[in-house]
Chain A
Amino acid sequence: MVSVVLLITLRRFFAALILFSSIRFIGKGWIETQIIAPIWLFPFDGFEWLPRPNIQATIGLFTGMIAGGILLLSDKMQRLGALLFLFCFTYIEVLDKSNYLNHYYFISVIAFLFVLIPAKSSHHKVPKLFLWSFKLIISIVYFYAGLAKLNADWMLHAQPLCLWLPQHSSLPLVGPLFQLKQTAYVFSWMGAAFDLLAPFALLSNRWRPFFYPVLVAFHVLTWLLFPIGVFPWVMIACTTVFFRDDWHHKFWRLWPWPSVHLPDADKSTSTPPDWGLGMKTVLVVFLLFQMLFPWRHLAHGGSLYWHEFGYRFGWRVMLMEKSGYTTYFVENSAGERQVFPIEKFLTPNQLKMVGAKPDLVVQTAHLIRKHWKDENNEDVKVRAEVWATLNGRRSQLMIDPFVDLTSLENDWSKRNYVLPLDSVIRPKQFWQLKDSLENAHR
């Protein structure tokens, strides 16, 4: 058994951050631009049946998030609050893949843990498993993010930092440094080392006091340089769960209100409740899943960044500068083809994502087919010519341009419609050869 104080701090920090994050989302006007305004959304696979909320329902969901966050802050109805938040937040997240963020997923995972795990001051002591669940998840986030950086693009070519850092060359004093290739290499290698070392340094009583300031500096730097949202603050706050009990006591004693002070576990005489095997089993299964699920991409050969099979939910953060330009062709039964004006149907962000993510290309094809059927009562095939660039490579064809994408589904099968990375055909060559290639294809 361990003292509950670590969990209480984590719960309060986490609740405060999700409140801030929800209000920030509203304040940025993203309800309109990401949920209401888009003509089409790209639900996660298996969630296509989910009703799309109108403006009232969306406001309801955000109210739910805020109410859930407030309950989670409280000592009484925190698990109910976590559940309410988890439901509303995840509902919004699964509506559109093109808004997927690793830190949104992280927030869902932590919220799920708080649904299972109580963190009440009256409990005084909780099983070690509870505390270690959070420590393990946070360790996975860092360590897997570090492992993901151990690839040729990141380590040998310092990509995508070679493209991202020079954007800051206008900064005073340090600006010129960002134009140097060497800076990108230093940042890449130090970033990888940081992520890989973070779990061990945070767990070590000896290294933690040295490492935590580095961690803060690292996250603040990423916040300054990249459009990464609240993620840095979430990690800075959540990693305090690695600190010792007395830090937590001291921290909350800094506040003038006695009600926020933490209970002293040692003076407790109450016997902790029995948590039951069922909940612990769910917890262990969930943690095993978290450890294994990010490796599903190993079932698929080729470049993970290119086909993106198993890319999401794997703590792959800031690894790619990838974007694409997609032309969709609808083909009628007579074999005649026409360009579909996709730019009229997607938001700029969706257009960018659809150009870069193969599963979204397939999803778009299905949407086009359905739209065409509704408008013209005609069944069409849909093909896509996608020119995409990855980490400084020249743009290349990403998707087999001759395959009818509506014949494909986003399932667990191999993405054979994704062409191998580092094919060398240039756009002009392709257009010259297109007809003969197509005949060969048939």
Chain B
Amino acid sequence: MTFLNSEKRPTGSAMLPVGFFISTLCLVLVAAGCNPDSDAREVTFDRGPFLENTVQSVILPAYSDYSSQCQALRNASEQCTAGQIDEQDIVSLRGFLRLTYLSWQHAALFDFGPAADRVLYLTTNTYPTDTSEIVAEISNENWTPGLPATLNSIGLPAMDYLLNHASAGEIADLMNSEPARFAHFQRLIDFLAEESSAVLYAWEHDFKARFVSSTGTEEGSSIGMLLNAFNEVYEQGIRKQKLGLPNGIMTFSETPQPHLVEAPFSETWSVELMHEALIGCENLYFGDRMQGDSQQIGIDDYLKSLGDFEYGIGLHNEISGQLSTAKAAVLSMQDPLGQYVVENQSATYDVFAELQSLVVLWKVDMMSSLGVLITYQDNDND
């Protein structure tokens, strides 16, 4: 504390101003905290419990359900006797595939950590799938799933093709006359089942603890990874891929591209899958799988904890309302979606606007309110 001597004052006074400053600050804060007029609606929010709940109530159930659905589909395929597959087998497999597809919509949102390490997002659901490549790979004994070159011919879209591109009877006949085709289907589901259980295992055994303990808001923090992945999957994977590309809104010619819808061969799942994806977003936002407002700690509680302001409760109300509107808008469309985007293109533009509204609310307003850093870089000017 040499610099104080320059003023020829006793050194002891050095701590006085600091002490005065700090105690004034504390007094003001305590007084403010005790103010009976302070906003009674303020809710406390702690990121630790938020992360804990998000893992326990949203992420782990999503992965565990998806992994079980993959397993159920694999079991169902193993029940079938190669060479003696009948129409009923195919109908049953289709039922399991649909459930797996629906379940995936929830797990898809967490494209970071173990999922990113295994490229789960791309290996599970890259579409449109390349049907001629699938056919070529049926007879390839050295086929290795998961390599970059195979992304266009594996995962759920490949199974949609193999099970749905013709009537159940015709598919059964094909599988019987060409045993490699059924074997390839089994290789596809084996791969998905293994990948899904590997990601679930990684979350349960190692990543969960790390995720819950990183309570900061810097880039690479849990909340940062979670929300950046969520925004990315919602904007690119849901809004754009599931609707924006098929309905042509993003191209010069605005020509609808029916083959770009999700699960095009099923002809009846696309809208349902889009709707389910929104339910997945809703679960993450509200912090549980009850599909609505709840006592569980979610992102909604963080916004509510900011108080009755445009950026707090006001924003929450708008997000919550827009989620309902967007879900209803999606359900207003009809399968087959490929046909619908051609015949009712302008109606799908309105649905797209509802989905786009959520991009702005989540990516701009919500991220701004949460103050999650998107990059690890100094920033002093805004």
Q: List 20 A-B contacts (CB under 8 A).
A: A166-B45, A175-B46, A179-B42, A179-B44, A181-B307, A186-B28, A209-B6, A213-B17, A227-B377, A228-B378, A228-B379, A229-B378, A247-B2, A251-B3, A324-B364, A332-B252, A388-B364, A393-B310, A394-B315, A427-B357
The secondary structure that dominates the B interface is: helix
- The answer to the question of A214 belonging to the interface, with a C-beta cut-off of 8 Å to chain B, is yes
Choice from A190, A392, A431 contacting B356 with Cβ under 8 Å: A431
Q: Do residues B306 and A247 form an inter-chain contact, with CB atoms below 8 A? A: no
In A321-359, which residues have CB < 8 Å from any B CB? 321-325, 332, 336-339, 343, 347-349, 351-352, 355-356
Whether the pair A428, B5 counts as a contact (CB closer than 8 A) is no
* Cβ contact within 8 Å between A394 and B314: yes
CA distance A325 to B234 in the complex (A): 14
**B167 at interface by CB-CB < 8 Å:** no
Residues of B within 8 A of A395 (CB): 360-361, 364-365
B380 A182 Cβ-Cβ under 8 A = no
Task: Indicate if A169 sits at the interface (CB-CB under 8 A).
Answer: yes
Closest chain B residue, CB of each to CB of A323: B368
Are A182 and B375 touching (Cβ within 8 A)?
no
Residues of A within 8 A of B38 (CB): 180-182
Over the window 94-130 of chain B, the binary record of Cβ atoms lying under 8 Å from chain A Cβ atoms (1 yes, 0 no) is 0000000000000000000000000000000000000
Q: Are A427 and B7 within 8 A (Cβ)?
A: no
Interface-side segment among B29-37, B151-159, B179-187: B29-37
| A100 to B202 alpha-carbon distance, docked (Å) | 40
**A-binding segment of B18-26, B62-70, B260-268, B275-283:** B18-26
Interface residues of A (CB under 8 A from B): 28, 30, 33-34, 99-103, 162-164, 166-167, 169-170, 175-177, 179-183, 185-186, 190, 205, 208-214, 217, 226-231, 240, 243-244, 246-247, 250-251, 254, 311-312, 316-325, 332, 336-339, 343, 347-349, 351-352, 355-356, 387-389, 392-395, 426-428, 431-432
With A170-B46, A246-B6 known as contacts, the answer to whether A186 contacts B32 (CB < 8 A) is yes
Interface size class of B (residues with CB under 8 A): 35 or more
B17 (CB) vs chain A CBs: closest residue = A210
B250-A339 in contact (CB<8A): yes
Which chain A positions have C-beta within 8 A of B307?
Answer: 181
Is the pair A247, B381 in contact by a Cβ cutoff of 8 Å? no
Closest residue of B by beta carbon distance from A315: B381
Binding site for A on B (CB under 8 A): 2-7, 9, 13-18, 21-22, 25, 28-29, 32-33, 35, 38-39, 42, 44-48, 215, 217-218, 236, 249-254, 305-307, 309-311, 314-315, 318, 353-354, 356-357, 359-361, 363-365, 367-371, 373-382
CB neighbours of B45 from chain A (8 A): 166, 169, 179
Report whether A336 and B252 are in contact in the complex, using a CB–CB cutoff of 8 Å.
yes
Asked if A317 meets B378 with Cβ closer than 8 Å, knowing A166-B45, A325-B364, the reply is no
Cβ-closest 10 pairs across A and B: A182-B32, A229-B378, A392-B311, A210-B17, A247-B6, A320-B382, A349-B375, A336-B252, A244-B6, A431-B353
Q: How far is the CB of B328 from chain A (nearest CB, A)?
A: 14
A174, chain B: closest CB distance, angstroms: 9
Contact B357 A428 (CB under 8 A): yes
CB < 8 Å neighbour of A30 from B309, B315, B363, B377 = B377
Give which listed residue, A180, A214, A312, contacts B18 with CB less than 8 A: A214
> B369: which A residues are within 8 A, CB to CB?
163, 392
Compute how far the CA of A251 lies from the CA of B305 in the bound complex, rounded to whole angstroms. Answer: 48
* Given known contacts A169-B46, A389-B365, A317 and B381 CB-to-CB distance under 8 angstroms: yes
Judging by beta carbons under 8 Å apart, are A186 and B25 in contact? yes
Report which of A205, A229, A325 forms a contact with B7, defined as CB distance below 8 A: A205
The reply to whether A209 and B382 form a contact with Cβ atoms under 8 Å apart is no
In the complex, chain B residues whose CB is within 8 Å of the CB of A393? 310-311
- A427:B378 contact, CB within 8 angstroms: no
Please, how many angstroms separate the alpha-carbon atoms of A367 and B344 in the complex? 36
Give the residues in chain A near B254, CB-CB below 8 Å.
336
CA distance A395 to B318 in the complex (A): 12
Contact B381 A394 (CB under 8 A): no
Q: Which residues of A lie under 8 Å from residue B353 when comparing CB positions?
A: 427-428, 431-432
Q: Which residues of B contact A227 (CB under 8 A)?
A: 218, 373, 377-379
Nearest to B43 among chain A residues (CB) is A179
A323 and B367 contacting across the interface, CB-CB below 8 Å: yes
